[in-house]
Structure 1
Amino acid sequence: MLKRKIVVVLYIALISFFCVYLFFKIQERDLIIQLNNNNLSLDAYKITLKQDISLAELDQKIKDNDKLTDVQLHYQAKDQRNVTYFYGKGNYTQPPLLSGHFFSSADFESDVPLAVVGKNYEKKLYEPKDQAYLKLDGNYLPVIGVMGDNYHSDLDDQIFIAASTQKLATAQTNDYRIVLDSLTPIDAKVLKKELGLLSATRLVKKNFIISDESWLVSHWAQVLGLFAAAVGFLAQMAVWLISLRHRYNEAVFLQADPAKFAFEEWRTYSLWVGLGTLIGGMAGMFVFQMTTYTYLLLTMGSIYLGSSLLFYLLIVSRLKKE
């Protein structure tokens, strides 16, 4: 009996460990998707203005607006898709850096342009002394940071530039693809009203059905894995229920109360399955470091509680038929 319970614990622990691994891969995939999208969130907007103004004027609109507190603007050159002129206000998601630092608020008001480059440019930088420079369009830009991570992404080939005040004053918004992202989601109607926009459309469409841009398509392998884990819980439950007949016949012979027998079986099942879930989950979280464990804990808790409740309902239903 004890040997069977130990096998159950090990089996459930293995499934739980697998669940943690799947959530780790989901977060890893989400990070790569974000890095491929210039480190922009799924709530970013592509915006167009009603009238053509300078980049300096749009930056000033953002700066003076009290409702837009933690935002970043990306001015993407139409003829150089790997070049982005960057403006930020307040707190915003910064790309991972291998060296140096990202732009400060003072850099957005400097007379000298500054650059943060992807790691694929690192070997192309000119470093006469303590300062690295990037040659771009015949000019040498001071480089203050190198972006990158352990993963390979499109961000490795990107150049972010905090443009000089002169560049901002002469460059026009109609010549750029403009993307606005916020640390907290902003409604499109609010954006259009506050900035005088012609349009504000999601950079990534949020769909409830499967499409090329849906979350489900990007994570189909992990979703199938979680489904398989749930099936694994159910399979173990089925084996436990099948083995009940012999123990129930013994209980009937000893004139045991069916309700009490059902409760004790449910309690034993929940205890050993819960122990396996806890052991496997803790082992997985020790091995795989994640940024958040909220969805993992909610999913594993739901699977455990759901299987425990289903077990109780099935065993009561089965005993009524005996």
Structure 2
Amino acid sequence: MKIKKIILVIVIFLSLLGIGSMLSNVQSREADQLLEAYGLSNNTRYINVKSNQNVGSFITYLQKNYPKNKIQVHLASKSKDNQTLVWSNHEVVTLPTESGRYFTADDFKGRVSFAVLGLNAKVPTLKVQDNQYVHLNQTYYSVIGILKHYRQMKQNGYYLTTGPKQPTGKFKLKNYIIIVDSSSKTIRQIAKHYHAKVKTPLFVKNHQIHQFSFLREIALIAVFLIIAFLSNLLLAYMDWQTVKQTHLNGALLRNWLINHGIRILLIELAVTFGAYFFLSWRTFISNKQHLIWLLALSWLIIAAAYSFCVIHQLRKDQKNDQAA
């Protein structure tokens, strides 16, 4: 009997791993979509502005007119296919790096521009005392990170922070294609101000076409949850059969069920924690809070299954006693 119970606990553990793995698949594919736009979301739109003002003036306009709106801007150079300027008024999506780090909100506020390079970035660099710099137009940009290899990203690209006070803020706006990630209303207002047309990037169109592409993972999460649910029902039934063989009744029966049930649920809680740490170690999880909530919900459901089965058997037994 003990071996059967151990097997059921192992099945529950494997089911939790299956649930977490499906979440990992979903987040991995979402990350791929984000990587295709270099950290931008599906709200991204293209704007081609012909204004003669510089980049810093454009950023100043955004700061002045949309102080409470979340805006992230990428400016792709028209003449240099591998150069992109980045600015945001909030924390950007963190892209995975081979070394160093990606940009943070503080990097856009100062007077110094920073650089993040693709693995095969085509840009002049210089190393001074173990510090790497990008050398452009007699200006040096400190390299703070090297991006990991992903097929969705340009390996020869490099990214520079920009802002009103930074050297890159002096670049001419008309030399760049503006890529804005914000609400649809904000993007329309910006485009209207600059008399520019709004275009939808290809990666956004593809995502809209395949917006139901996660149904398979969702279905498998449900299947694994059902397996864990049924396993715990069976475990509760086996515990009930065990206690009935002891011929306990009344308060002794209830106390045994409560104490044993709490022990089982604590073991399953430990199994859930084990699944979380294993999944965090072995799988890609971009948002661990989602994994925590999903596993916690799964544990609550299987705990409810165990409790329901025991309570149902207990009430059934009491009714039989009363009828007798």
TM-score (ref. length: structure 1): 0.65
Q: Residues of 2 paired with 1:78 and 1:220: CA distance?
A: 39
The answer as to 2:274 corresponding to 1:282 is: yes
- The answer on whether the counterparts of 1:13 and 1:277 sit within 8 Å (CA) in structure 2 is no
Q: Which residue of 2 aligns with 1:117?
A: 117
Matched-pair contact (CA < 8 Å) for 2:12–2:228: yes
Task: Map 1:301-316 onto structure 2 (within 5 A).
Answer: 301-314=296-309
**Equivalence map 1:115-264=2 (5 Å):** 116-121=116-121, 126-127=124-125, 130=128, 144-145=142-143, 146-149=145-148, 152-161=151-160, 164=168, 167-168=171-172, 171-172=173-174, 177-181=177-181, 187-193=183-189, 196-197=192-193, 212-214=209-211, 217=213, 219=214, 222-240=217-235, 243=238, 246=241, 250=245, 254=247, 256=249
Show the counterpart of 1:53. Answer: 51
Structure 2 CA distance for partners of 1:159 and 1:60, relative to 1, 3 Å: same
Supply the distance in 1 between the matched residues of 2:300 and 2:226 (Cα, whole angstroms): 15
Separation of aligned partners in 2, 1:53 and 1:307:
61
**Pairing 1:106–2:111 present:** yes
**Separation in structure 2 between the aligned mates of residue 269 and residue 54 of structure 1, nearest angstrom:** 73
Tell me the residue number matched to 2:71.
71
The CA deviation at 1:106 is 2.2
What's the RMSD between the two structures over aligned residues? 4.7
**CA 1:38–1:310: 2 relative to 1, 3 Å:** same
| TM-score, L = length of structure 2 | 0.65
Task: For structure 1, list consecutive stretches of 5 or more residues without a partner in the other structure.
Answer: 109-113
CA distance in 1, matches of 2:14, 2:102: 41
Larger deviation, residues 16-25 vs 300-309: 16-25
**Following TM superposition, by how much is the alpha carbon of 1:148 offset from its aligned partner in structure 2, in angstroms?**
0.9
**Post-superposition offset of 1:247:** 5.0
Using the TM superposition, give the Cα deviation of residue 38 of structure 1 relative to its aligned residue in structure 2, in angstroms: 0.9
Aligned letter for 1:293? K
> Cα offset for 1:230?
0.6
Quick one: which amino acid aligns to residue 306 of structure 1?
I
Question: Cα–Cα, structure 1 residues 194 and 74, in superposed 2: closer, same or farther, change >3 Å?
Answer: closer
Structure 1 residue matching 2:34: 3-state secondary structure: helix
1:28 and 1:21 mapped to 2: Cα distance?
Answer: 10
Residue equivalent to 1:111: none
Q: Which letter maps to 2:62? A: I
1:305 counterpart SS class? helix
Amino acid at match of 1:106: R
